[in-house]
Amino acid sequence: MFEDMIKSIDETLAKLLKPVYPERIYDAMGYSVMAGGKRLRPLLMLLAYKAVGGDENDTRIMKTACALEMIHTYSLIHDDLPAMDNDDLRRGKPTCHKQFDEATAILAGDGLLTYAFQVMLEDETGKYEPKYTRAAFELARLSGMSGMLVGQAVDVESEGRQIDAKTLDFIHKNKTGGLIKAALMAGGIIGGADEKTIKLLEEIGEDVGLAFQIKDDILDVTSTTEVLGKPVFSDEKNQKVTYVSLYGLEKAQSDYAALSESAIKKAEKLGEKAKPLCDYLKSLTDRIK
Amino acid sequence: MFEDMIKSIDETLAKLLKPVYPERIYDAMGYSVMAGGKRLRPLLMLLAYKAVGGDENDTRIMKTACALEMIHTYSLIHDDLPAMDNDDLRRGKPTCHKQFDEATAILAGDGLLTYAFQVMLEDETGKYEPKYTRAAFELARLSGMSGMLVGQAVDVESEGRQIDAKTLDFIHKNKTGGLIKAALMAGGIIGGADEKTIKLLEEIGEDVGLAFQIKDDILDVTSTTEVLGKPVFSDEKNQKVTYVSLYGLEKAQSDYAALSESAIKKAEKLGEKAKPLCDYLKSLTDRIK
C-alpha cells in the first residue's frame, strides 16, 4: 500500500517538475527531487489526511504533499553545498552541485522552495479555501523561522563546538522535527480535522521527528555506507554532537523505542481510519536507512 | 510623501526582523534588508493599493509589501554569492557573505524567502480571505518559475556567452520584471480591484520592469561607483550582454523614455487616486542610482 502511495507521489512530482524552458534549472530541481528518497514527509501528510477522513477526491492534498517534498529537497541541496556540509554524495548519487554546478544548485534549491508555495497556493477555481492557506502558512512557519531553517542555522553555528543538551534538542526539534510536524498538521488541516485532532497530530509529529533524528544518529554509527548511500561516521568526522555522542548508544536506542511507541499510541487514538498511519509508523521502527 | 512611506516600510521591516534566538540568522537577514535600498517594490505595491482605493485601515498590505522586499533581498544575497556574481559590495556595504560567512548568507536568503510567505499568509483572525492568498500565489509564481528565478537561471547560464535579443528579453522580463509586476498586481488584488484593473496594473508592471532594467544597464556605463554604491562597468567586466551593449546607448535611452511614458499614461487611466503612483513613476525617470 505504501508502495502505491509512493508511486503516486513520484508521478505527481515528475509531472509538476516536467522540464520547460529554461530546461537546465528544471533538470537540476528534478534530478534532486527524483533521486529516490523515502518520501517520509509526503507519506505522513497523506496518511494523516486519511486518518482524519479527508475527501478522497481532493487533488490538492497530493500536490501539497509533493510541495512539502520539494521543500525537504531544497534543504538537502543547500545543506550539501561546499559552504555548508560539502557533501559529494546523497542517496548514493552525486549531490546537485557535483552533478551540475554550485550556482545551479543554489538556484535549484531556491526554485524548489518558491515553487512549493506556488503549487500549494494555486487554486484554479479561484475559491482559495481557508484550510489550504492555513496549511501553507504552517508549512512556511515550520520550514522557516519556527522550524527547519533556524534548526539548521544553530546546527551550522555549532559545528566543531561542544554543545549542551538544550541546544541539541533545539536543533533536532526544529531542523528535522519542523517538516515532520508540518506534514502531519497540514494533512489534518486539509482533511478538515477539528482543533483537538490537529493538536494531537502535532504531538505525534514531535515524537516522530525526534525519533527519526535519533535513528539517523544511531545509523550513522551502526550502519554502512553501502546501505545508507552516504558516508557513515560523518558526524564524528564533522565533530558533530549527536544524540548518540551526548547520551550514548544504549540510551539513544531506548529513547528511540519509547518515542516510537508514544507516537503509535497517539495515532491509535484517531480510530479505525488511522490504521494505515499506525502501520506506517510501525514500519518506520524497522528502518535500516 | 514617499519618504513617509519608506519610513513606515523600514519600521515594519525592522519590527518583523527583530532578532530572537538564534540571533545570528536574524542579524544576517536584517543586515541585508536594512542596508538601505530604494524600497521600489514595496512602494509600488502600496501605491497600486492606494490607486485602486484600498482600505486605509488594512494592516496586512504593509506586511505583504515588506514580504516582497524580503523576497527581493533574498535574491540579492544569493546573487552576490561567490558561486554566482561574487560581489563584495552591495549598496556601498560588504555583501552578506562578506559581512558574515557564506553558509550564513545562504541560510539568510533561504530564511527571508520562507519568512516572506509566513508573513504574507499569517492571519490571526483565522479568516484567510481569498484576496491575500491570491496575492501570495502571484508573488510565488512571479518570484519563481514564471518570473525572477527562471530569469536569473538564464542569466547565469548566459554569462560570458553572446546571447540574442530574445534571450535578453526573457532575462529582463523575468529577472527584474517579475517582482515589479508582482508588486503592482498584488497591490491591486489586495486593494480589491476588478480583473480589468489588475490586468492594467500588470501591464504597468511590465513597462516599469523593463524600463528599470534598461536604466540599470545605462547607469552601469554612465554613472560612478560612488553614486551607485557598487562597481560600474560590472557588466562589461563580467562579459554580460545588456540592453546597452545589444542596442547601443542612444536606443536604450529612447526606449527607456518611451516605456516610462507608457507606464505613466496607463497609470493615469486609474483616475484621481492614482496620482501618488503617477508621481512616483515620474520620479523614477530622474533616478541616478
**Coil, strand or helix: which one is B89?**
strand
B117 and A117 within 8 Å at the Cβ level: the answer is: yes
CB pairs under 8 A between A and B: 145
Confidence bin at B213 (pLDDT 50/70/90): very high
pLDDT at A115 over 80: yes
CA dihedral (A41, A16, A87, A3) positive or negative: positive
Find residues 24-83 of chain A whose CB sits inside 8 Å of chain B.
Answer: 24-25, 74, 78, 81, 83
Confidence bin at B232 (pLDDT 50/70/90): confident
pLDDT by residue (tens digit) across A207-233? Answer: 999 999 999 999 999 988 888 777 788
As a whole number, mean pLDDT of residues A254-276 equals 97
* A246 backbone φψ class: left, alpha, beta (φ>0; ψ -120 to 50): alpha
Q: Is residue B210 within 8 Å of residue B259, measured between CB atoms?
A: yes
What pLDDT is attached to residue A138?
Answer: 98
Peptide bond into A22 cis (omega under 30): yes
Q: What is the nearest CA distance from A82 to chain B, expressed in angstroms? A: 9
Task: Label residue B113 exposed, middle or buried (CB < 10 Å: 0-12, 13-18, 19+).
Answer: buried
Rounded alpha-carbon distances, angstroms, from residue B98 to A159, A262, B76, B140, B222: 20, 46, 13, 28, 27
pLDDT by residue (tens digit) across B41-84? Answer: 999 999 999 999 999 889 999 999 999 999 999 999 999 999 99
As a whole number, mean pLDDT of residues A72-100 equals 94
What pLDDT is attached to residue B1?
Answer: 77
Peptide bond into B19 cis (omega under 30): no
B84 and A101 within 8 Å at the Cβ level: the answer is: no
What pLDDT is attached to residue A231?
Answer: 75
Q: Does A152 touch chain B (CB under 8 A)?
A: yes
Task: Please give the grid coordinates belonging to residue B54.
Answer: 484600498
SS (H, E, C) chain B: CHHHHHHHHHHHHHHHCCCCCCHHHHHHHHHHHCCCCCCHHHHHHHHHHHHCCCCCCCCHHHHHHHHHHHHHHHHHHHHHCCCCCCCCEECCEECHHHHCCHHHHHHHHHHHHHHHHHHHHCCCCCCCCHHHHHHHHHHHHHHCCCCHHHHHHHHHHHCCCCCCHHHHHHHHHHHHHHHHHHHHHHHHHHCCCCHHHHHHHHHHHHHHHHHHHHHHHHHHHHCCHHHHCCCCCHHHHCCCCCHHHHHCHHHHHHHHHHHHHHHHHHHHCCCHHHHHHHHHHHHHHCCCC
Q: Is residue A68 within 8 Å of residue A186, measured between CB atoms?
A: yes
Cβ neighbors of B272 (< 8 A, separation 6 or more) are none
pLDDT at B287 over 90: no
* Domain boundaries defined on chain A: 2-285
**Nearest residue on chain B to A27, alpha-carbon basis:** B153
pLDDT by residue (tens digit) across B144-158? Answer: 999 999 999 999 999
What pLDDT is attached to residue A227?
Answer: 82
Q: Which CATH architecture has domain A2-285?
A: Orthogonal Bundle (1.10)
Residues in chain A: 289
CA dihedral (A114, A116, A120, A122) positive or negative: positive
- The CB density around residue A75, as the number of other CB atoms within 10 Å, is 22
Q: Does A153 touch chain B (CB under 8 A)?
A: yes
Find the distance separating the first CA and the last CA of chain A, reported in whole Å.
Answer: 20
Q: Is residue A278 within 8 Å of residue A267, measured between CB atoms?
A: yes
As a whole number, mean pLDDT of residues B193-221 equals 96
Which of B85, B121, B173 should one mutate to test binding to chain A, selecting the residue with the greatest count of A CBs within 10 A?
B121
Task: Please give the grid coordinates belonging to residue A245.
Answer: 555522542
B111 and A137 within 8 Å at the Cβ level: the answer is: no
Find residues 5-34 of chain A whose CB sits inside 8 Å of chain B.
Answer: 21-22, 24-25
B25 and A149 within 8 Å at the Cβ level: the answer is: yes
Q: What is the nearest CA distance from B287 to chain A, expressed in angstroms? A: 30
Query: pTM here?
Result: 0.96
Rounded alpha-carbon distances, angstroms, from residue A71 to A99, B77, B167: 20, 20, 29
Q: What is the nearest CA distance from A187 to chain B, expressed in angstroms? A: 18
Confidence bin at A289 (pLDDT 50/70/90): confident
Task: Please give the grid coordinates belonging to residue A286.
Answer: 524497522
Residue numbers in B near A141 (CB within 8 A): 118
What pLDDT is attached to residue B90?
Answer: 87
What pLDDT is attached to residue B195?
Answer: 98
User: How far apart are the C-alpha atoms of B213 and B11, rounded to whole Å?
Assistant: 28
pLDDT at A104 over 90: yes
